[in-house]
Amino acid sequence: MTEQPSSLDPRLQRIAFIGPFGVGKSTAIRTVSDISVLGSEAEISPHVLHDDIASGKHLTTVAFEYGEIRTSDEERFALFGLPGQDRFEHMWRMLIPSTIGVVLLLNSQDSMDVCETWLSRLADYAPHGNLVIGVTRLTQVSEAALQPYRALLTQHGASGAAFAIDPRKTEEVRCAVIALVAMHAWRSRRAVTAE
């Protein structure tokens, strides 16, 4: 059952969803959020993004979306969907450093150069942070299809995983969130043990 948000709870650990314009960030958050999602969508200006209007997308996020997910009786997390356009990168600076990790959604139809660019950009805000790459629009899910994404994670020294994700499917998005939470818990335990 979807609850109404009382307010943005500052005590909750945060997870950011990022990726290119139109990849499914807003959809993914709406799919798994246990509360009604708070959003900041605006109509796309035809002068700015005419190619995206031709693709059928008429709204875009201009600040962030906010949802919450309960992964167990004791654990609840804040979900932030950040805009993918460069002009909103200031939102990354504000939110990503305070997260436990990032779900980077990428369209399988884009080149691996797009993945490389996003991983490089992300390193500026969350170096060696927890990261899940969610590959959307895969026509056939296989280890071979995900291997190039995993190789780039390794190449960038990122602690992460890559999954095929349909942002409309609750279990697939939930799996990515739980994987990110598990990575964070594992790294936190290692840090405590090292002290």
Amino acid 3: pLDDT: 54
Give domain 13-194's CATH number out of 2.40.160.210, 3.40.50.300, 3.40.50.2000, 2.60.120.260.
Answer: 3.40.50.300
Least trusted range by pLDDT, from 2-11, 64-73, 78-87, 153-162 = 2-11
Identify the residue with better confidence: 158 or 65.
65
Tens-place pLDDT, residues 14-73 = 999 999 988 999 999 999 999 999 876 556 555 555 444 445 555 555 557 899 999 888
Percent of the chain with pLDDT over 90: 44
> What whole-number distance in Å separates Cα of residue 148 and Cα of residue 80?
26
Average pLDDT over residues 81-99: 80
Helices 143-155 + 112-123 axis angle, to 10:
40
Mean pLDDT of the chain: 82
> What whole-number distance in Å separates Cα of residue 73 and Cα of residue 117?
38
Tens-place pLDDT, residues 95-129 = 888 899 999 999 999 989 999 999 988 888 776 67
Amino acid 159: pLDDT: 75
Average pLDDT over residues 6-12: 67
Least trusted range by pLDDT, from 31-40, 85-94, 128-137 = 85-94
Residue whose pair of structure tokens reads 């109509």 in the numeric block: 43
Amino acid 42: pLDDT: 54
Amino acid 50: pLDDT: 41
Amino acid 112: pLDDT: 92
Structural domain boundaries of the chain?
Answer: 13-194
Assess whether pLDDT exceeds 90 at residue 94. no
